[in-house]
Amino acid sequence: MALRQVSGVIFGFICVAILFAADISLTFAADKVAVRAAEHPTYGRLVLDWGRKQTYEAEIRDGFLIINFPTPFEANLRPAEISLGSFVSKGEIYNNNKSIRFKIKENYKLKTAVYGSAIALDLVKIGATTAESTPTVKMRAGDHSKYSRLVVDWPNKTEYKVAQNGDNFALTFDRSAEIALSAVTRDLPRYIKKVSSSQKSGKTTIIVEANGHAKVKAFRSGNSTVFDFSPDASTKLTEKPETQEAASTPKKVKKASIPIKKITHSPPVPEKPAVVTEKVNAENGREVASIKKTTDAHNAPEAKHVEEAKPRSLIPVKVAARSEKSARSVSPPSEKLVLDVGNLRDGFRLIFPWKQSAAMALFERAGNYWIVFDKRVQLDFRNLSGPYKFLVIRKKQIGHPTATITRLAVRDGYAPSVTRTGNEWRVDFRLGEVPVIKNTIDIQPQPAAQEGARIFIPAVNNGNKISFKDPQAGDELIAIPLFNPSWGIGRSRTFTQFTILPSMQGIAMTPRDSSVEVAVERNGVSITAQGGLQLTRAISKADLFASGDQTDRFTGKKDKAQLVKLDQWAQVSEKEFIERKQLLQRKVARAPRAGRNALRMELAKFFVAHKYHADAFAVLERVRLDDPRADEDGLYRLLRGLSNLGKHHLVEAEVDLFNPVFSGIAEVAPWRGKLAAEKGDWKLAGEEFKIGSDAFGVYNSDLNNEFNLLQAEAALEDYDVELATSSLEKIKTSLEQGTNPTVAARREYLEGIAAMRSGDIDRAIGKFDQAIALDVRPVAALAQYEKINAELAQKLITPEEAVDAFQKMSFAWRGDDLELNILKRIGDLHIASGKIREGMQSFRNIVMTFPKSRLARDIAREMNDLFSQLFIEGEAEKMSPIKALALYYEYRELTPLGDKGDKMIRNLADRLIKVDLLEQAAQLLDHQVNFRLKGELKALTGTKLAVIHLWDENPKESLAILYKTRWRALPDKVKKERLYIQARANADLSNFDEALSLLEDDKSKTADLLRADIYWKAKQWPKAIKALETLMKESGADKAAKLEPLDRQRLMQVAVARSLVNDQDGISAMRKKYRKKLVDTPDLDAFDLITDNTDGSEINFRERSTAIAKISQLESFMSGYREQLKNGDFWSTN
């Protein structure tokens, strides 16, 4: 009872304690080390960034990479384990957090370097050189009507020669490189049989084996080298052998090469009609027209007979893309399907347990996942409760007369994959992955099909077409579910009249033209349109230059643009802009309709050159509306890409600028690098700037400075200080001569970063001060952020002062990655200082404010790890139970699924029980029983929860939880334990007969203890005396010289019971037998008071007897649980 009194006082302070502001006693003295890693062709790089200079020792010993540091640290090794999976196995931190060890998978050489605060360790393959000396060079391939093309994309101009020996060609280059052949060898061009490469004596040789006698034409396009292999005129080239599977399907008909369509005033040339052959019907002699089908059934998913279905008619059933008008309201289906949910280690599983076979589609649109079945049921989402409601944020079923359609909004960072077992469909959402598609469905444009141009998607074993409206967007969606699992279209494909959506299962699209028709055929899906479908084709590099010259365009004239001619497109200076714009617009307005697009292109170039990107885009859209095939023109795609880049529409710009036609073109590469930089892909940006660095000079000084600044930034992201310094030195920043202050500020800032990377912190601080003094707010904010970090690394300021400085910045700067980094740094410093609650609050603000940021997702994982460290690994033991409980409830959504989360809850419950916060412990376990657990584990947890309710003097709740967590298949030992708890609870409710009936025929010691307690509670003194004396006899009390405390307690109970029934003979016998065994014990005086009847009027005798009789001794049964809790065995089975 004293414990409960203490708990009353403690619980009275809970409300105040939850708002605590004092520093939590948990401290993390160790440094936080950032871990990065990347795999290169010949080596794997591990980077450990301390944020300050640090000494270290590294070696490879006994099959391990070992790095030792003089001070303890903390680090997440997961990025290294993932990125260097082919080099190392799982890593570990040991030696009191001063060492890292990775098991290496092969023999490597170790190379190390220090870049400022970062330590770089390279595992170099034996016999290989580093990536810096042996670059990886991409190879591309493609088929044309009369030749097969191979393109080697060198980063710089490289000399070559060609030698032929029969059907073999040796292409030798004057530079050593790893040739990336995988993209070519996976799908060899028609006239090429085999491709391999080797390096020797500083040269690279590519061996090409032709598919029969062939000849080769070689030329250079920029830094790229092009080889066209075509049949020798004197010999017919051998075609690739068809596989046996493909032999049973119609062969692909190769499209004739159509010259690239230029945007001119000339009307488009009509396509030739399809070639029709004639054959005679044997039955009636009629001539029937037939045409060779172009369906590539070889690429279709293999038919798996999931269900016996009637054969689909060979005649396609065409349904217009616009869905038929249905009834105003669709009545809900009578049949229900309860959605099951399962736990995965890194996610969760949605299970659709269909009773009959159903086809399924799963696709993504506008951040939502749509799941479509071709059978109609009412989905029951009852199991998407508890922790799953934080993962599946929104769920809605869309009414449909023949199908089941549901839309899910899933927490950011989870991606789906689809499997099927029997009739049961399963969708696994896993954290940190991309959507998984085991089989990608091909999309085949067929411009020469019999009924006009169409798109054909080979997908056998498909379900019915399902049309419905998106309630949010208001437009129409079309889905074709498939019976075979994990067949989908991984990325979006946009055509002039419709868009095919990215799907993980099945096919989905949205039409933009009411004339589009979708037909589900036996071997796939065809998409056509009334009046003909408008198709586009790939662009050729020949489109980009009027002369078709593919030679090196910068020989002797690096100062003049030949493709992105901004100076020429501008026509006039800014002062004359308005007058020239009006002139160009009048020309367009007055021109004949057929000739307007050429003038519009001129106007679009003018707008791009003067940075009126939105105006340029509007003009280009007008061009496309008049000529839907404008996408086939390379210059049109270039202008549209530049316009979207200028508007910061990066996704749309990427579609155009990263078209393969622009790969390796030096004038376009800087713009591609700028696009990659704005997307945060600094590795790609660096590659593009290296390709385009020779072309910087063809642009004006502002663009030249911009590209050099971006190249420097990309180099610094890769810790290439030398290249960054070289790029920055090319920038002229004299403010007196009118240099843009932003350029000057960015240069000072980047020079500061370069100094940080090279370890010169004092110079870095000076550069940051200069950048701040130029007062260009975005750059000044970045410089201020880096300056605070630099001063903290130099210990010029304390962590508390750094937090104050960062917090002031967070109020002054909002809305971009810098704000995210500031909040992250505040959180890190709070955690390092032991202020866990404040640090977690900073992290939560990041996750809530930047839900789509990759760094925010990493921080969410860091929060999960920290939460586990606190409540599983025992760091929360350093906090008071009330603070630990308050922190847990504030961030309880971080409780992991599965066994790990259950252990976390049990650990916290144990701490609360130990300080008699029984009600709070019961609430924790009650939530676990109601929402997290099932089956046997639910019953076991319910058993312990029932014990807690008994400690909390709440026997009704104890019985209720036992009833709620019943489970037939429990071990006999657990069943017995639950029976004893039930008996004890009934005794507390004065249901003595019920309690005793539960123990009938049970001769165990535990049952004897319970019976003695129940008799005592029921005041059945003769039976209590007998039961207690039996327990004393079993413990050997009658033969012992001295009595143990438990036997002394039982002896006192027997004495009181005999006194209450006035058994003087029994009292005398007890006194004679046991008094000498109580000498020198604290119970002797009480025993004498009860058993000494020499003074029957002794008032104290009656008072003491009554007091002892009122004391509940049922703890004899419950004391076993208290001992388990003390020893850490409370959750074991009694």
> CA distances (Å), 177 to each of 42, 94, 172, 205, in order?
11, 40, 11, 9
Same domain, 558 and 633: yes
Residue 860 tokens read as: 């969410």
Distance CA 101, CA 94 (A): 8
Query: Parallel, antiparallel, or unpaired: how do β-strands 136-143 and 148-153 relate?
Result: antiparallel
More confident residue, 1102 or 528: 528
Distance CA 271, CA 533 (A): 13
pLDDT at 834 over 90: no
pLDDT at 369 over 50: yes
* Domain membership flag for residue 759: no
Domain termination site, one of 188, 215, 231: 231
pLDDT at 498 over 50: yes
Helix (H) or strand (E) holding 1049: helix 1045-1060
Q: pLDDT tens-digit profile of 648-680?
A: 999 999 999 998 888 888 899 999 999 999 998
Question: Taking a C-beta distance cutoff of 8 angstroms, is the pair 453, 526 a contact?
Answer: no
Distance of CA 902 to the CA centre of its chain: 24
> CA distances (Å), 783 to each of 716, 752, 791, in order?
15, 8, 12
Residue 1020 tokens read as: 């059945």
Question: Taking a C-beta distance cutoff of 8 angstroms, is the pair 147, 230 a contact?
Answer: yes
Same domain, 79 and 170: no
Q: pLDDT tens-digit profile of 383-410?
A: 888 888 888 988 999 999 999 999 999 9
Distance CA 38, CA 45 (A): 5
Question: Taking a C-beta distance cutoff of 8 angstroms, is the pair 141, 147 a contact?
Answer: no
* Domain membership flag for residue 437: yes
Distance CA 838, CA 471 (A): 41
Lowest mean pLDDT segment, chosen from 73-82, 604-613, 1103-1112:
1103-1112
* Domain membership flag for residue 1107: yes
DSSP secondary structure letters along 605-665: HHHHHTT-HHHHHHHHHHHHHH-GGGGG-HHHHHHHHHHHHHTT-HHHHHHHHTSGGGTT-
Residue 361's φ and ψ, nearest 5 degrees, are: -130, 140
Same domain, 506 and 366: yes
Distance of CA 974 to the CA centre of its chain: 41
Mean pLDDT score of the chain = 78
pLDDT at 423 over 60: yes
Q: pLDDT tens-digit profile of 889-922?
A: 677 666 666 667 677 777 777 767 766 676 777 7
Same domain, 354 and 503: yes
Domain termination site, one of 499, 529, 559: 529
* Domain membership flag for residue 315: yes
pLDDT classification of 527: cutoffs 50, 70, 90? very high
- Find which of 183-187, 585-589, 963-967 is predicted with most confidence, using mean pLDDT: 585-589
pLDDT classification of 255: cutoffs 50, 70, 90? very low
Same domain, 1022 and 1062: yes
User: DSSP 3-state assignment of 897?
Assistant: coil
Distance of CA 768 to the CA centre of its chain: 35
Q: CA quadruple 113, 115, 119, 120: dihedral positive or negative?
A: negative
Distance CA 1117, CA 1035 (A): 15
Domain termination site, one of 210, 231, 252: 231
pLDDT classification of 80: cutoffs 50, 70, 90? confident
pLDDT at 145 over 60: yes
Give 362's strand partners.
Answer: 371, 505
Model pTM score:
0.44
- Stated length of the chain: 1134
pLDDT at 1113 over 70: no
* Domain membership flag for residue 996: no
pLDDT classification of 276: cutoffs 50, 70, 90? very low
pLDDT at 1109 over 50: no
> CA distances (Å), 250 to each of 447, 525, 725, in order?
17, 16, 60
Mean predicted confidence (pLDDT) in 627-652: 89
Distance CA 467, CA 772 (A): 58
State the Cα angle at 924 between 921 and 925, rounded to 5°: 90
pLDDT at 307 over 90: no
Same domain, 115 and 176: no
Same domain, 434 and 556: no
Place of tokens 């303890």: 72
* Domain membership flag for residue 784: no
Question: Taking a C-beta distance cutoff of 8 angstroms, is the pair 142, 149 a contact?
Answer: yes
51: phi > 0 → left, psi -120 to 50 → alpha, else beta; which? left
Helix (H) or strand (E) holding 468: strand 466-469
Same domain, 13 and 59: no
Q: pLDDT tens-digit profile of 734-789?
A: 555 566 888 998 999 999 999 998 889 999 999 999 989 988 888 988 998 899 98
Closest to 485 in 3D by CA, of 436, 542, 419, 404:
419
More confident residue, 42 or 1122: 42
More confident residue, 860 or 192: 192
Residue numbers of the domain that contains 193: 136-231
CATH classification of the domain holding 210:
2.60.40.3500
pLDDT of residue 7: 45
Look at the chain and report how many structural domains it folds into: 6
CATH classification of the domain holding 825:
1.25.40
Question: Taking a C-beta distance cutoff of 8 angstroms, is the pair 670, 682 a contact?
Answer: no
Place of tokens 């970045």: 782
Same domain, 64 and 80: yes
Residue 609 tokens read as: 């050159």
User: DSSP 3-state assignment of 200?
Assistant: strand
> CA distances (Å), 323 to each of 315, 498, 511, 514, 656, in order?
21, 15, 11, 10, 33
Distance CA 963, CA 961 (A): 5
* Domain membership flag for residue 610: yes
Same domain, 164 and 308: no
DSSP state, residue 462 = B
Question: Taking a C-beta distance cutoff of 8 angstroms, is the pair 804, 810 a contact?
Answer: no
Same domain, 340 and 414: yes
Contacts of 706 (CB under 8 A, 6+ apart): 674, 743
Distance CA 8, CA 920 (A): 12
pLDDT of residue 672: 95
Same domain, 155 and 212: yes
* Domain membership flag for residue 916: no
